[in-house]
Chains A and B, each alone.
Chain A
Amino acid sequence: MPQLFQRYTNTLAPASIVAVFIALSAAVWGMHAIIFSPYATEVGQPVSQVVPFSHQHHVSGLGIDCRYCHTGVETSAFAGLPATETCMTCHSQIWRDAPMLEPVRQSWATGQPLHWNRVHNLPDYVYFDHSIHIQKGVGCISCHGHVDRMPLMAKSETLYMRWCLDCHKAPEVHLRPANEVFVMKETVPDEKRGAALLRAEEIDKTHLQDCSVCHR
């Protein structure tokens, strides 16, 4: 009977240990890369819409306030999408023949709402309320990014739980005074101002990370 294990198996044994370690690391790294890739997170990936609405044009070009269209953002959980009436307030007069706006005119004529595709979609087990974030001084830009530079709307953050918790752990880094909430400028972290805002808004950080804050 020949030798069951040849000489080369002396190298193979330790090499296989290293190989398994490398393979496992690669798998973990690969999973991580996939989960945080723009493909999975949809960050920076414009969502196709029936009308290619440009936030860049309306926000930074015309200076229209976020609340002109997203009227519910200060008072309700849902920021609100504008009714066709809001589009037609201006577009009954300007760009009234633009082919791009045909779906808007159709909607206005038939009363059938425009079908927008969601860009920011949270799973149903997450409770989220816009109004409390606005009232306490979280700027639009903190979560939605530079909307004023987006010709087509895309997510700028992952909306992963870890990302939510980053801010719930240290909200003072992102808080801003009430009159700057809708301003499209990055928050400059300022410890003193943050601490003062926490006090003024009576934000109790000790409970901000409780499960039931977001999972109700």
Chain B
Amino acid sequence: MNVGTATLCLAALAVCCVACRRDMGHQAYHRPLDKSSFFPDGMSARRLPAHTVARGQLQEDELFYTGHIDGKAVDLFPMPVTREMIERGQQRFDIYCAVCHGRTGQGNGMVVRRGFPAPPSYDLDRLRAAPAGHFVEVITNGYGLMYSYASRVEPADRWAIAAYIRVLQISRTAALKDAPPDERAKLQQEVAP
């Protein structure tokens, strides 16, 4: 083996080693929740500095964001209540609320059956009389043992859930004649067998 061949082999080996570097796979930026050696707390995501408002986070509309007007919960929706909105409310309720409150709002969700203190049923007179804004306020700030859901449920969805809670309340006392005529036969069939 002459010197030329040896050099060629070494060069080929060197290329192989270089090709194993993963610079493309690990680039110098952070994906969400990555750790970082730059900040003392080891997190790449930073908390907002005190007294700052992020773009789009200025919550000026008191009713929409708190369910209050002049600091008092009101029975008023800041948007028209549509079928679409109620269905969205149902979907969100089933994801975030039903685990404790149960799908029908009786306060017997799966987590309650596993030992979490039961929340009140929406069927109580106190909650039937509660303004819609009260439910939005509870979702936003929590209540009793219930934590705040502000970081999990968007403000518009809180109102959708409030609307759906009204549906659950009405459904407890609704009579057959309250259903649209074409739905009645279907409901009767479900009960009959």
Contacts and interface: CB of A to CB of B under 8 A. Distances in A.
Interface of A: 62-65, 67-68, 71, 77-78, 80-81, 83, 85-86, 88-90, 92-94, 112-113, 115, 123-125
29 contacts: A62-B111, A64-B110, A65-B95, A67-B95, A67-B96, A68-B99, A68-B152, A71-B151, A77-B32, A78-B31, A78-B32, A80-B32, A81-B33, A83-B151, A85-B151, A89-B146, A90-B99, A92-B147, A93-B115, A93-B117, A93-B145, A94-B111, A94-B115, A112-B41, A123-B22, A123-B26, A124-B24, A124-B31, A125-B27
A181 to B, nearest CB: 11
A115 B31 CA distance: 15
Interface of B is mostly: loop
Interface of B: 22, 24-27, 29, 31-33, 35, 41, 43, 94-96, 99, 110-111, 114-117, 145-148, 151-152
A92 B187 CA distance: 41
- Shortest beta-carbon contacts, A-B, top 10: A123-B25, A124-B27, A65-B95, A78-B32, A89-B147, A94-B115, A62-B110, A93-B116, A125-B24, A67-B95
Contacts of B148: 85
Contacts of B96: 67-68
B15 to A, nearest CB: 18
Contact of B147 (A63, A88, A94, A112): A88
